Amino acid sequence: MPLYTVSSHQALNEQQKQQLVNGITDIHCNITQAPAMFVQVVFSFNVPLDSAKNVHMLGSIRHGRSDDIKEKLMDEFRALFSEVLAVEKQSAEVVLIDIPASWVIEGGEILPEPGEEEAWMKRLNLN
């Protein structure tokens, strides 16, 4: 958690995928302060998208993020897609869905609420 699913008309090459994984992880962690180990990115291609869209990303993020944080995430993700895939920002669609932390298990443990990661990781000896 978070789980980001990136869908596109055409397959992305390995370099593009790696740039997107790194960028999505960096953006998410820099804005939310969540640990990088939580970020998961999945790719799907040959997806029929609206003709005005080149890429679509659905992000399931932990509930509790402010509207400001969500807006920053979406803006930076669109800029990332524009840069890596050489597409217009308007053709990159980003949708975020809030998921309660209690609905997600990571490493056999229910995820902490946003802002409680440090204590959770310390309790599990992950830092």
**Quick one: pLDDT at residue 67?**
95
- Mean pLDDT per 10-residue section of the chain, whose length is 127 residues: 91 96 97 90 90 93 93 98 95 95 86 85 81
- Report CA Rg, the chain: 15
Superfamily of structural domain 3-123: Macrophage Migration Inhibitory Factor (3.30.429.10)
3-state helix, strand, coil in the chain (%, to 5): 45, 25, 30
